[in-house]
Each structure stands twice: as C-alpha cells, then as structure tokens.
Amino acid sequence: MVTAVHPAFYNYDDTVHLEESEDLAFFYLDLLDALGIPRAHLVGHSLGAMVAAEIASLDPHYVDRLVLISPLGMWQEEAPIPDFYVIPRREQRHYCFADPESEVAREALPDRMPNEEAESAFWQRYAAAGKVLWGLPVNLRLLRRLHRVKSPTLVIGGEKDRLTAPIYAQLYAQKVPGADVVLLSGSAHYPHLEEPDAVLRELERFLG
C-alpha cells in the first residue's frame, strides 16, 4: 500500500506549477510509473477523491478499483458548498463532523494549533489546497470525462455531511458508469474518521 500526500502540502518548493486537480492527477500518474506500479486500487477523500477521479478518467488502465469518499468537484444549487476559506476553524467542524464537539472532530480541526510550527503547517496545507480548489466548486472538465472511468467504483458519503451534502456522492455515482454509492448514517465529511469500522468493512467488501 502506498499513502500519498498531496505535493506542496508540506513545504515542497518545487511543486508551484501544480495548480489544478488535473496537474495533481498527472503528478500521481508519474509517481505510479516511477514506483513501477502498472495498476492499482485508488482511494481518495474530498480533494483527494476528486484527484483520484481525474486519474481514472484521464488514464483508466492504471486503475483497478476506485473509491471516492466525500468527493469534491460538483455543484448543486439546492445544496451549495460553503466557502471553507472564510469560515472560522471552530465553525468548520459543524460542516465536517456529525458531532462537531467530539474528540475526533476537535483533534482534526482544533480551535488553535498547539504550537507555531503546527499552525504554519496547517496554513501551508490550506494554501496548497486553495491553489487547486480556486475556481471550483464545479470541475467542468472532470464532469465531461467521468464517463471514461472504466474501473468498478464505490462512492462513500456521510448522511450528515454539511460540506459536500449526500447528493454529491449520489451525483458522482450517476456520472461514473456502474458506480455504487454507500451513505453512512453516523458521519459527515470524514466518515473514515467518524465511522472507521464501517468504512473499513465497505473497503474490504469492495476491494476484496
């Protein structure tokens, strides 16, 4: 298993050219080539799910099975995605967690970081994500390519997600040929943190 961190999330100075989700997709395709991995299961969350969908649509033969958890990249007027970059950190938990005051929510999005280094790293990640997300919420080029996804696909969402509402998981499942969707009742935008056992069961069932 390979766990990848998005370039520039941790002070990678040579990745300033990566400004769109498509750029990240090609970066990871190059990474797969460099690692000698001809084909793989892809699992992504939020921005990472959108990038995983990009990879599967741009070069389908690399992807064996695809799992998208709370994916970004679509837009519905009846369930608008809030501008996360103007929401105070404490209020962000309300959008991202079924119980915003739970231990897991406070650990993921604390009111304040424990030290200056952690605070700097937090804003580095935000800035890096912001470059890719600028101009979204809708990724029109990806939407036009989703029909090219050839791999079996599972979309997982949280029923209490107030950032990317459950309708977005359902929309991805409609756009990707043959995709299945699972909505978990006890979680919001981070089901793998709030209901890890349920997500693990779905992954084991789907990935085998």
Cα gap 103→107, rounded to integer Å? 6
Does residue 6 fall inside a structural domain? no
pLDDT digits (tens, 9 = 90+) for 1-55: 877 777 666 555 555 566 677 888 888 899 999 999 999 999 999 989 999 999 9
Share of the chain above pLDDT 70, in %: 83
Phi, psi of 142 (to 5 degrees): -65, -45
Does residue 146 fall inside a structural domain? yes
Does residue 12 fall inside a structural domain? no
pLDDT attached to residue 90? 78
91's tokens: 């209020």
Does residue 140 fall inside a structural domain? yes
pLDDT attached to residue 75? 82
* Per-residue pLDDT in tens (0 to 9) along the chain, 208 residues: 877 777 666 555 555 566 677 888 888 899 999 999 999 999 999 989 999 999 999 999 999 999 999 999 888 888 878 777 778 777 889 999 999 999 999 988 887 777 777 766 666 666 666 666 655 556 778 888 999 999 999 999 999 999 999 999 999 999 999 999 999 999 999 999 999 999 999 999 999 8
pLDDT attached to residue 188? 98
Cα gap 85→74, rounded to integer Å? 18
Does residue 134 fall inside a structural domain? yes
Domain extent for 23? 18-207
Strands (DSSP E) contained in the chain are 40-45, 63-69, 153-158, 180-184
Does residue 8 fall inside a structural domain? no
pLDDT attached to residue 183? 98
Does residue 177 fall inside a structural domain? yes
Residues 52, 43, 178: CA angle, nearest 5 degrees: 75
- CA 176 to chain centroid, in Å, comes to 16
CATH number at 96 reads 3.40.50.1820
Does residue 11 fall inside a structural domain? no
Q: How many domains does the chain have?
A: 1
